[in-house]
């Protein structure tokens, strides 16, 4: 009985650690993004637009939703706010009138480049005393297990 209780307690500890790390990273990132007037979700979508455009992929709202895992309606709302800030432009597709093509403006690209440098600097400080390769391997293993369990649950 004690051994299984200790295992459960250990799992609770892991869950708690993961939660605390996640929440800390969110707070730090939000603090770092304040000077750019961006939220984490706005940066994520702006980054997807930036990187997909660099690969000369026509970026649509639905593609952004799929790539980021952000709900299509939420994606639309976030894009509307980015457009109001002058960081992106949206236009109708010439091939599909239902689709909206999204492009970063020069100001949007510039802000993304500056903000991502700030985020990377913060990450470097956080992980400077951590064996990142070992951590990455462990997290990849955890992700594989999550995917395996997800398939099992959904089948």
Higher pLDDT, 98 or 70: 70
The CATH number given to 2-154 is 1.10.10.10
Q: What is the pLDDT of residue 57?
A: 83
Position 53 confidence tier, pLDDT thresholds 50, 70, 90: very high
Q: What is the pLDDT of residue 5?
A: 53
Average pLDDT score over residue span 7-18? 73
Q: pLDDT at residue 145 above 70?
A: yes
In sequence order, the 6+-apart residues with CB closer than 8 A to the CB of 38 are 46, 111, 115
Position 99 confidence tier, pLDDT thresholds 50, 70, 90: confident
Q: pLDDT at residue 25 above 60?
A: yes
SS (H, E, C) the chain: CHHHHHHHHHHHHHHHHHHHHHHHHHHHHHHHHHHHCCCHHHHHHHHHHHHHHHCCCCCEHHHHHHHHCCCHHHHHHHHHHHHHCCCEEEEECCCCCCCEEEEECHHHHHHHHHHHHHHHHHHHHHCCCCCHHHHHHHHHHHHHHHHHHHHHHHC
């Amino acid at each position: 009985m004690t051994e299984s209780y200790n295992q459960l307690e250990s799992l609770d500890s892991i869950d708690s650690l993961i939660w605390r790390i996640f929440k800390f990273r969110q707070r730090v990132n939000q603090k770092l993004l304040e000077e750019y007037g961006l939220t984490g979700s706005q940066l994520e979508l702006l980054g997807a637009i930036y990187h997909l455009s660099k690969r000369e992929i026509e970026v649509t709202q639905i593609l952004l939703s799929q790539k980021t895992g952000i709900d299509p309606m939420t994606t639309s709302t976030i894009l509307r706010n980015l457009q109001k800030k002058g960081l992106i432009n949206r236009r109708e597709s010439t091939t599909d009138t239902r689709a909206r093509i999204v492009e970063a403006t020069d100001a949007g690209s510039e802000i993304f480049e500056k903000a991502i440098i700030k985020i990377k600097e913060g990450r470097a400080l956080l992980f400077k005393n951590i064996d990142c390769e070992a951590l990455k391997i462990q997290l990849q293993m955890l992700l594989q297990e999550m995917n395996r369990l997800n398939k099992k649950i959904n089948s």
